[in-house]
Amino acid sequence: MITAAQMRAARALLGMDQKTLAELSGLSVPTIQRMEASEGVVRGSANSLTRVIEAFELAGVELIGEGAASPAGGRGVRLRSSCAQARNETDATATAQR
C-alpha cells in the first residue's frame, strides 16, 4: 500500500512532477492527480498502484511501510543508499564543474 503523502514525498525527493510520474508508470496525469488527492491510503486498481510503486522503486525510492524500521516509526520514503550515493556524486561533480 502507498499513501497519497508518500506519493507526494517520493516525487519531491526525486524532483519529479506529476507528468513524469505518469509517463514512468504508464498512467494518465489525471489518474496521478486523483491518487495524490486521496485521503490516507491511495485507492485505485491494483494494477495502477503496482505501476506507481514500481516506477518509484526503479527511480530509487524505497517506500517505508507502517511499523517498518524508521526513526519516527511511521510511513515514509527514502532514497536507496546506492541512489543517494549516486545523487551525491552527481551533485559534487556538478558543483565542481561550476
CATH number assigned to the domain comprising residue 54: 1.10.260.40
Q: Are 57 and 7 in contact (CB under 8 A)?
A: no
Residue-level pLDDT at 40 = 87
Q: H helices of 1-98, where?
A: 4-14, 18-25, 29-36, 46-58, 81-97
**How far is Cα 44 from Cα 46, in angstroms, rounded to an integer?**
6
Per-10-residue mean pLDDT, the chain, length 98: 90 95 97 93 91 94 69 59 48 38
Residue-level pLDDT at 27 = 97
Residue-level pLDDT at 47 = 95
Residue-level pLDDT at 1 = 79
Residue-level pLDDT at 25 = 97
**How far is Cα 38 from Cα 17, in angstroms, rounded to an integer?**
17
The total number of structural domains in the chain stands at 1
Gyration radius of the chain over CA positions: 14
Q: What's the domain range around 48?
A: 4-97
**What is the DSSP secondary structure assignment for residue 68, as one 8-state letter?**
S
